[in-house]
Amino acid sequence: MRKIAIALAVFALPLTVMQPAAADPTGYARELSVQRRPHITIYPRHRALSPNATRYCRAWLAQEYRISGPVIVPRQQCWWQ
């Protein structure tokens, strides 16, 4: 009986020590979620485009091989029409 109580105490101890991310006393996670994304204006450089030109983008996920192992990273290709 005593072995069972010790085993339960050993496994339950890490659960009582861990704190959820929402209980962050510094408020750092909350500050990141409140920040606004910056507004970016993009101007074409090389060609003279019509005033109605639109920038189109295609985005996908690609696998890269790194020292730590394969990683999925975002990729993007944009063009003006």
Kindly report whether the global pTM for this prediction surpasses the value 0.95: no
CA dist 72 → 2, 18, 66, 69, 78 (Å): 48, 29, 10, 10, 20
Residue holding tokens 């020292």?
67
pLDDT confidence tier of residue 58, bands split at 50, 70 and 90: very high
- What DSSP line would sit under 38-79, residue for residue? PP------SS---TT--EEEEEEEEEEEETTEEEEEEEEEEE
51's tokens:
């005033």
- The share of the chain scoring above pLDDT 70, in percent, equals 53
* Boundaries of domain holding 41: 2-80
pLDDT confidence tier of residue 24, bands split at 50, 70 and 90: low
- Total domains in the fold of the chain: 1
- Give me the pLDDT at residue 20, please: 54
- Give me the pLDDT at residue 25, please: 59
